[in-house]
Structure 1
Amino acid sequence: MKLMFAADIHGSLPATEKVLQRFHSSGAEWLILLGDLLNHGPRNALPEGYQPAAVADRLNAFAPRIIAVRGNCDSEVDQMLLQFPITAPWQQILMPQCRLFLTHGHLYHPSSLPPLREGDVLVYGHTHLPVAEWQGEIACFNPGSASIPKGGFAASYGLLEQGVLKVMTLEDDQLLMQVALDGVDSSI
C-alpha cells in the first residue's frame, strides 16, 4: 500500500494545489493529512495564497481518499467546511509489519510518545520540520510543512512506498530524507 502524507497546509491554496498534484501523480491510495489544514494560527504569518474556504473545496474533492487528524489550529468551524472527519486527535493504520500512529504532534510527539510497540511508527506534523529516523525502538516521521516550512527546509510532503518513509520537496519532488520500516539504515 502506498500512502502520501501532508501536514500544516494552514489555508494556503497554492500549497494545497501542489499537494493534490503530487497525490494524483504519486499513485498513493490514501492522502494522510496531519492537521492544521485551514487556519494559519496566531503564531504564524499568513501563508502565500491564504484562502481557507477554497482549500476546503479542493480537499473535499478527495474526501473519500483522505484520512485526517486534528491539529492545534483546527476547529469545529473548520469541520463544518470539510466533508471528511478532522476532529480525531489521532488515528492508526495497521500495516503487516507495524502500526502507524498518526497525530498532529502537539499532544503526542517524540518527547511524549503514546503507547507504542517496538517497530511502530509515530507519524506527526506540527513542528514544520521534516524528520525520518529511528529513535530507539520507534520510528519517527514528520513530512514537514506544505506551506510554512521552518529550519531552512523547503516545503515538503511524505510518501510511504515499499516499506520506506520518504520526505520529498513539494516544489521539485527531491528526496530530503528517508527511513526504512524494517530498521535497516536507509538514510541518504
Structure 2
Amino acid sequence: MKLMFASDIHGSAYYCEKMIEAYKKEKADRLILLGDLLYHGPRNDLPKEYAPKKVIAMLNAIKNEICAIRGNCDAEVDQMVLEFPIMADYCILFLNGRTIYASHGHIYHTDNLPPLKKGDIFIQGHTHVLMAQKDEAVILLNPGSISLPKENNEQTYGIMEENNFQIKNFNYDVVKELRL
C-alpha cells in the first residue's frame, strides 16, 4: 500500500490543487491529512490563494480517499462543510507490520509522544518543518507543510511505501528520505 501524507493546507486553494495533483501522479492508495485544512490561523499570514470554499470543494470531491486528523486550526464548523471525518485527534494505521500513529502535533508531538512500542512510527504536522529521523526507539516523521513551510523549507508532502518514507516537493524531487 502507498500512502501520501500532507499537512497544513490552511485554506490555500493553490496548494490544495497542487497536493491533489501530486496525490494522483503518485498513484497513492490513500491521502492522510494531518490537520489544519481550512483556516490559516491567527499566527500565520494568508497563504497563496486563500479560498477555503474552493478547498472544501476539492477535498469533498475525493472524500472517499481521505483519512483526516483534526489540527489546532480545525473546528466543528469545518466538519459541517467537509464530507469526511476530521475531528479525531489521531489515527492509528498498520502498514507492512508496523504501527503508525498519526497526529497533528499540537497534542502529541516529539516532546510528548503517545504510547508507542519500539519500532513504531509517529507522524505529525503542525510545525510546518519537515523531519524524517530514527529515534532510539521510534521513527519520527513530519511531511512539512503544503502551504506555509517554515525554517526555509519548501512546500512538501510525504510518501510512505514499503519500508521507505520520502518527503517530496511539488517538482516531485525527493527532499529527504528515510529507510523505515
Give the TM bin, normalised by the shorter chain: over 0.9
Alignment of 1:97-116 (within 5 A): 97-116=97-116
Aligned twin of 2:149: 149
Q: What is aligned with 1:24?
A: 24
Partner Cα separation in structure 1 for residue 161 and residue 95 of structure 2: 12
Partner of 2:173: 174
Aligned residue pairs, count: 180
Identical-residue share of aligned pairs (%): 44
Task: Report the RMSD for the aligned CA atoms in angstroms.
Answer: 0.7
Give the C-alpha shift of residue 140 in structure 1: 0.6
After superposition, give the CA deviation of every residue in 1:139-184 in whole Å (9 maximum; x if it has no partner).
Answer: 01100000001110110000012210111012x1111111122xxx
Unmatched 5+ residue regions in structure 2? none
How many Å separate the matches in 1 of 2:86 and 2:178? Answer: 27
Which AA in structure 1 matches 2:134? W
Q: Counterparts in 2 of 1:69-108, with a 5 A limit? A: 69-108=69-108
Find the residue that maps to 2:20 and give its secondary structure. helix
User: Does structure 1 conserve the Cα–Cα contact (< 8 Å) formed by 2:4 and 2:23?
Assistant: yes
CA distance in 1, matches of 2:167, 2:81: 29
Q: Distance in 2 between matches of 1:32 and 1:136?
A: 26
Report the TM-score when normalising by structure 1.
0.94
Deviations 1:4-44 (A, max 9, x none): 01000000000000000000111100000000000000000
Residue 185 of structure 1: aligned partner: none
Q: Which residue in the other structure is 1:53 paired with?
A: 53
SS in 2 for 1:5: strand
**Distance in 2 separating the partners of 1:96 and 1:16:** 29
Match of 1:34 in 2: 34
> Matched residues in 2 for 1:179 and 1:103: separation?
19
Separation of aligned partners in 2, 1:109 and 1:165? 18
Amino acid across the alignment from 2:172: D
TM-score under structure 2 length normalisation: 0.98
Q: 1:83-140 CA deviation, whole Å, 9 max, x = no partner? A: 0000000001012321110100000111100000111110100000000111111101
- 1:147 match: secondary structure: coil
Indicate conservation of the 8 Å contact 1:133/1:178, yes or no: no
SS in 1 for 2:54: helix
Q: Distance in 1 between matches of 2:118 and 2:132?
A: 16
- SS of the aligned residue for 1:19 comes to helix
